[in-house]
Amino acid sequence: MDGRNNFPKLHNAMWPGLVGKGPDSEPPIDLDEMLDLTAAAEIENTKFDGVDLFLADPHTSIDSSSDDIKRLADKIAAKNLEVGSVVAPVWPPLGGGSAMGSEGDHRRFVEMVRKACRIGKQMRELGVRQGGVVRIDSATSVDDWAKDPVSNTRIIQYLPASKRYRRRSRRTTCGRGRNLLGSHAQLAGNDRSPTAGRPTEDIGIPGRHGAHPALYARLQCS
């Protein structure tokens, strides 16, 4: 039996180096510095196993070339780290679009996820990423979702299942902030949960969000 996943992997998320940073706050933390700090961190002989990447500038461009990804993979492997989940930059300010927006928004949303899957797939092929998911978000507010909870939950659920990228990535995980697929579905009722009519290996909810009810615990998430 493969024992690769017989205990939780400890990963450090790279997006705290970007999220909430900027001209009106603290300056961003360079990805190289984040990697150095992650590799050096140790408490009672426990170190980080890997990192989770935010595929957005100035850390990792979603339009990174194959050579760019190879250099990043080599850099991460040299620090005895691996890559786990990668965040697709689906938010409009980063070039994406709302899952509940216009047809153009949908195209931009799916395109960002497709590009994230390409990067994740290349990292698997390079041997620095053994598992993990592509993390997405509805990129909209709970108030907008609540205008038509049934239809909007279906859109959030099925849009990221587009055949344009399903063959490129094993699984997708929804979540971040308050715009969570699980939170939307919880408000709408169990019959509209993200798993309704869908195989659980395709889409899931990250277990770190304590607001999600126990019914989501059966989802297979990384």
Task: Give the model's pLDDT for residue 163.
Answer: 46
Choose between 191 and 98: higher pLDDT: 98
In CATH terms, 11-218 corresponds, of 1.20.120.1200, 3.40.50.300, 3.20.20.150, 3.90.1150.10, to 3.20.20.150
Q: pTM of the entire structure?
A: 0.75
- Sort strands 82-87 and 50-54 into parallel, antiparallel or unpaired: parallel
Q: Exposed, middle or buried by CB within 10 Å (0-12, 13-18, 19+), for 79?
A: middle
Choose between 162 and 222: higher pLDDT: 162
Alpha helix locations (H) across 56-148?
66-78, 103-125, 142-145
The pLDDT of residue 194 is above 50? no
pLDDT in tens, 150-177: 888 777 766 755 544 444 445 555 554 4
pLDDT in tens, 31-73: 999 999 999 999 999 999 999 999 999 999 999 999 999 999 9
Task: Give the model's pLDDT for residue 112.
Answer: 92
**Among candidate residues 10, 136, 128, 134, the one with its CA nearest the CA of residue 69:** 128
Average pLDDT value for residue range 127-146: 84
Confidence grade of residue 131 (pLDDT, cut at 50, 70, 90): confident
Task: Give the model's pLDDT for residue 39.
Answer: 97
Task: Give the model's pLDDT for residue 100.
Answer: 82
Task: Give the model's pLDDT for residue 5.
Answer: 52
Residue 32's CB is within 10 A of a number of other CB atoms, namely 10
Ordered by start, the domain boundaries in the chain are: 11-218
Confidence grade of residue 4 (pLDDT, cut at 50, 70, 90): low
d(CA 54, CA 13): 8
